[in-house]
Amino acid sequence: MAMPKQSRGALLFLLTVILLIALGPWIAPYPATEFHSRHILEGPGTTYLLGTDEFGRDVLSRILWGARPTLLLALASAGLGVLLGTPTGLIAGYFGGRLDEILMRVMDVLMSFPALILAMLIVVMMGPNPVNVVLAIGVVFWPRSARLVRSVSQDLARREFIEAAKARGEAHVFILGRELLPNVLSILVVDFTLRVAAAILLTASLSYLGVGVVPPTPAWGLMVRDGQQFLQNAPWLVLFPCLAIALVSVGTVLVGDYLRRRVAVPGGERIA
């Protein structure tokens, strides 16, 4: 059967991203932090395809080197959020009652900060390094994932196959792991993809605001921040990292959107 256009596009995109993460540094023409002092602020040309920055560093190389931290950071923080949110949501939805009440009120409090603000606060107070960025964004995503999983598992927990398992005398762990989890898996995949997109935005915004990874790490958001002062004369310093962010984040959103549509189809096949 011919693959639908959309899923081919999604697959292609995922492959590109994986390649970028794996090979970015090898395809890059120059090391990310190599100074070419005679080629400061050069526009895009044949030697430096996307131009150079104020230290004469090759913009293309920095973008390629920057792909890995940007994407790994996003994947790790989205993963952490989903990893924290899934058990919380499953347990709250399945057990209900007081436990649900307590867990969800805690989630409410975490939710009562705008995402970027909470992430910023945590990173600032814990110190700007990649691990803390992942932790901060993971915590920001935690209640959002938990709420989603809870709403699904709450609905599932009322279904009769869960009642049947309870009536049989199955252990809670079995019900959570074998009966409920497979049913939320497809939603988790969608949620994860959309969270990756959100994490790319958040990490980029954090580094743009100067919170997050510290120079000279070639994070894309940081490159935009540093390049902003040369906007008038060297717009490529801002434009190309922006384009990189746009490509990856739009692509991820499209993949997530595509997956969401697939999952929403009634009687649709299972994903993952």
Partner 1 sequence: MTQPLLDIAGLAVSYGTTNRRVPAVRNVSFAIAPGEAYGLIGESGSGKTTIAFAVMGHLNGGRVDAGRILFRDRDILALSPQELASLRGRSIAMVYQDPLSSLNPTLRVGEQVAEGIRHHRGLSHRAAAAEAASLLDQVHLPDPARLMLRYPHELSGGQQQRVVIAMALACRPQLLIMDEPTTGLDVTTEAVILDLVAELRSALGVAILFISHNLGVVRRVCDRIGVLYAGELMEEGRTEKVLQRPRHPYTRSLLRSIPEIGRRSERLASIAGSLPDLTSLPSGCIFHPRCPEARDICASAAPPVEEVEPGHISRCHFARDLPDALAEDTASASMKDLPEGRKPLLRVVDLEMHYVRSRRFGPFGRTIRVPALSGVGIEVAAGETLAIVGESGSGKSTLARCIVGLAAPTGGSIEFEGTPLTATRPRATRRDIQIIFQNPEAALNPFHTVAEIIARPLRLYGLREGPAIRQRVIELLDAVKLGERFSTHYPRELSGGEKQRVSIARAFAAEPRLVICDEPTSALDISVQAALLNELKELQRRYGTSYLFISHDLSVVRHIAERVAVMYLGLILETGPTAEVFQPPHHPYTEALISAVPTVSPVDRGPVLRLQGSVPDPANPPAGCVFHTRCPRKLGRVCETDAPPWRHTSAGRAYACHIPPEDLLALQQQPTTETDRPLPEMEEPHER
Partner 2 sequence: MSLSRLILRRVALLALVLVAVSLLTFAIVNILPGDVATAILGESATPADLAALRSRMGLDLPLGTRYLTWIGHMLRGDFGTSLAFNLPVAPILLWRLGNSAILAALVLIISVPCALTLGVVAAVYEGSLLDRFLSLAAVFTFALPEFVIGLVLILVFSILYPVLPGSSLMEPGLNPLSQPLALVLPILVLVLHQLAHLSQITRASMINALGSNYVRAARLKGLPPALVVVKHALRNALAPAIAEVGMNFGYVLGGLVVVETLFSYAGVGQLMVMSVENRDVPTLEATVLVIAVAYGVGNLLADIVSLRLNPRLRS
Q: Where do contacts with partner 2 occur on this chain (CB under 8 A)?
A: 105, 108-110, 112-117, 120-122, 124-127, 197, 201, 204-205, 208-211, 221, 224, 228, 231-232, 235, 238-239, 242, 245-246, 249-250, 252-254, 257
- Closest CB to partner 2 among residues 52, 193: 193
Query: Among residue numbers 249 through 268, which ones bind partner 1 (CB under 8 A)?
Result: 267
CA distance 205 to 225: 10
Q: Which of 167, 173, 232, 233 binds partner 1 (CB under 8 A)?
A: 167
CA distance 35 to 54: 9
Q: How far is the CB of 87 from partner 2 (least distance, A)?
A: 21
Q: Which residues pair with 52 in a beta bridge?
A: 58
Q: How far is the CB of 102 from partner 1 (least distance, A)?
A: 11
Q: Which of 58, 179, 191, 226 binds partner 1 (CB under 8 A)?
A: 179
Q: Which of 3, 27, 164, 231 binds partner 1 (CB under 8 A)?
A: 164
Cα–chain-centroid distance for residue 14?
Answer: 13
CA distance 165 to 98: 22
Q: Which of 98, 112, 168, 265 binds partner 1 (CB under 8 A)?
A: 168
Q: Which of 46, 125, 127, 160 binds partner 1 (CB under 8 A)?
A: 160
Q: Is the dihedral of CA 104, 108, 109, 110 positive or negative?
A: positive
Q: Which H helix or E strand runs over 109? A: helix 97-111
CA distance 204 to 241: 10
User: Are 13 and 255 a contacting pair, CB within 8 Å?
Assistant: yes
Q: Output the DSSP codes for 200-234.
A: HHHHHHHHHTT-SSPTTS--HHHHHHHHGGGTTT-
Q: Considering the rule CB under 8 A, would residue 153 count as an interface residue with partner 1?
A: no
Q: How far is the CB of 176 from partner 1 (least distance, A)?
A: 13
Q: What is the dihedral of CA 62, 63, 69, 71, to 10 degrees?
A: -170
Nearest to 196, CA basis, from 71, 67, 87: 71
Q: Considering the rule CB under 8 A, would residue 169 count as an interface residue with partner 1?
A: yes
Q: Which stretch binds partner 1 (CB under 8 A): 30-38, 42-50, 175-183, 243-251?
A: 175-183
Q: Count of CB atoms within 10 A of residue 101's CB?
A: 11
Q: Which of 36, 39, 68, 166 binds partner 1 (CB under 8 A)?
A: 166
Q: Which two tokens stand for residue 16?
A: 């590109």
Q: Which two tokens stand for residue 37?
A: 């002092």
Report the partner that residue 267 touches, choosing among partner 2, partner 1, none (CB closer than 5 to 8 A by kind).
partner 1
Report the partner that residue 235 touches, choosing among partner 1, partner 2, none (CB closer than 5 to 8 A by kind).
partner 2
Site string for partner 1, 182-201 (x = CB under 8 A): xx------------------
Q: Which residues bind partner 1 (CB under 8 A)?
A: 159-161, 163-164, 166-170, 179, 182-183, 267, 270
